[in-house]
Structure 1
Amino acid sequence: MSGTGGGTDEPRVGVEVGVGPWPGGPDAWPDDPRLDPVLLAEGDRRNVVDRYRYWTVEAVVADLDRSRHPFHVAVENWQHDLNIGSVVRTANAFNAAGVHVVGRRRWNRRGAMVTDRYLHVHHHATVADLLSWARTGEPGGAPLPVLGLDNVPGSVPLEGRALPRACVLLLGQESAGLSAEAVAGADAVLRIAQYGSTRSLNAGAAAAIAMHAWVVQHAGPPPA
C-alpha cells in the first residue's frame, strides 16, 4: 500500500479510518497520562500512525521532539503560495526539526491537513531574518548551512551531493523560484534533475524530493 492516501483528521466517506472507542468503557481505560479521554470515549479517527492512537496532540509532539531529524525546511511566501501546506505535510512525514515560512505570515493550511499541529512552524519576515537565524543555529548548536533548491544558473546537482546532517532546505515561490536575495544568501543552490519539457518542478514535489534525499543519507529505519 502506498503512503499517499487520505490525510485529514476527519474520516473519509465510506472508509473506516482509525479505531473506535476503547472497549469496556472508562473503567477499562489504560492508566496512561499520554492518552486523551475524549479519544478513548469517542474513538480516534485522526490521520496518525497506529502507535499514536488515542494520544493527545501534546503527547505526540513531545514524543516526536525526542527523535526529530536535524534538518529544517524553509519556503518563501510572498504571494500566498498554496504549496506551503504540502511542504508542511511532507516535513511532518519525515519528522523535520521545523518548517520556516518567510515573508507573509498567513499561509493556506488546507494542504497541511492539520499536520502543522505536530511539528514546529516558525515565521521570518524577510530572507535576511531567516539567514540571521540560521547563522545563530539551534540553541546550543552550530550555525546551520542554508541550501537553496532551484534550477538557476550556477546551481549544482542534488543527485550525488553530500548533504549536511544539520541544515536548512530553502525553497522559493511556486512561480518565480528563489528570490535573488535567497540565492545570494544561500551557502549553495541545488537543482533537481529534470528530463521533460517543464521549466520547473512543483514546489511541494521539490521539497519532498530534497527531504527524501536527506533521509536516504542520514536517517535510519523508521519506527516499526
Structure 2
Amino acid sequence: MADPFPPSTPRSPELSTNGVGPWPGEWPTDPRYDPELLERGDSRNVVDEYRYWTVEAIVADLDLRRHPFSVAIENWQHDMNIGSIVRSANAFLAETVHIVGLRRWNRRGAMVTDRYQHVIHHPTVEDLVTWARERDVPLVGIDNRPGSVRIETTQLPERCILLFGSEGPGLTDEAIAACSTLVEIGQYGSTRSINASAAAAIVMHTWIEQHAL
C-alpha cells in the first residue's frame, strides 16, 4: 500500500487510533481505495495498511492469508459475548465464524469487525455438524466438563472448528456429543468459570501459539 503520509509529512500519534483525515495530495488509482474515504477520511478501526480501502478489498486481502481454524458459538439466549468473540476471531484471523441457534445476535461487541469475517448461520447443532463433516473438519469443544483435557497440555488440530457455548450454561449436551475433543482452560482462583469471550480469546491465541508462530 502506498504511504499516504510521505516522510516529509508529520505524523500524529493519534492517526492509528482515531483514524486519518482526507487523503493529502493526488488520489491513488488503485481500485482497492474507496473514493468516499479518500475524500472524507477514514475513522474505522482498521490497521494502517487498510486505511482508505473498501470493505470488499480488505476482505479479499484477508482471505489470502486466513488461518485454517474457525469459531462456532451457540446462540440460544442472545448471549452478549458473541460480538466480542467475533472481534477476537477477526483479530486472530479465523477462517469463518459460525452462529448456531438464533439468527439474530448482538453485534455491539463486534465493533463492526463482522464486516470483515465470513459469518455462517446454522439453525441447529446438527446443521453445524453436517457442515463440518462434509469438509472433514473436527469440532473442538471448550467447556470445563468432566472428561475435558487441559488446553495447556493439548495440541489443537491445525484445521478445526473451536466450539463455544453460551455464557452460563456452556455447551449443550448435543454440542458436546458432536465434538471430537473437549478442552478446558486451567483456572487457579475461586471462580467456577471464565467469561465466554475471554475464554474464546485465550483458546484462539493458544491455536496461534501452536500453529502460526
Superposition TM-score, scaled by structure 2 size: 0.91
CA drift at 1:35: 0.1
CA contact (8 A) 2:149 2:183 kept: yes
**Where does 1:125-136 land on structure 2 (aligned, <5 Å)?**
125-136=123-134
Unaligned runs of 5+ in 2: 1-15
How many angstroms apart in 1 are the aligned matches of 2:190 and 2:163?
24
The Cα offsets for residues 131-185 of structure 1, whole Å up to 9 and x where unpaired, read as 1111111xxxxx1110000000111111121111100000001010010001111
Give aligned pairs, total. 198
Partner of 2:68, secondary structure, is strand
How many angstroms apart in 2 are the aligned matches of 1:69 and 1:16?
26
Task: Show structure 1 runs of 4+ deviating over 3 A.
Answer: none
How many angstroms apart in 2 are the aligned matches of 1:34 and 1:16?
22
How many angstroms apart in 2 are the aligned matches of 1:60 and 1:116?
12
% of aligned pairs identical? 66
Amino acid at match of 1:35: Y
CA drift at 1:198: 1.1
Match of residue 207, structure 1, among 197, 200, 203: 200
Root-mean-square deviation (Å): 1.1
Amino acid at match of 1:41: E
Amino acid at match of 1:104: L
Unaligned runs of 5+ in 1: 1-14, 138-142
Equivalence for 2:19? 18
Equivalence for 2:172? 179
How many angstroms apart in 2 are the aligned matches of 1:117 and 1:185?
29
**Where does 1:46-57 land on structure 2 (aligned, <5 Å)?**
46-57=44-55
Match of residue 83, structure 2, among 73, 82, 85: 85
The Cα offsets for residues 71-104 of structure 1, whole Å up to 9 and x where unpaired, read as 0000100011110000000000011001100000
Amino acid at match of 1:195: Y
Amino acid at match of 1:102: V
How many angstroms apart in 2 are the aligned matches of 1:199 and 1:131?
29
The Cα offsets for residues 96-141 of structure 1, whole Å up to 9 and x where unpaired, read as 001100000000000001000001011001111111111111xxxx
Partner of 1:51, secondary structure, is helix
How many angstroms apart in 2 are the aligned matches of 1:128 and 1:199?
29
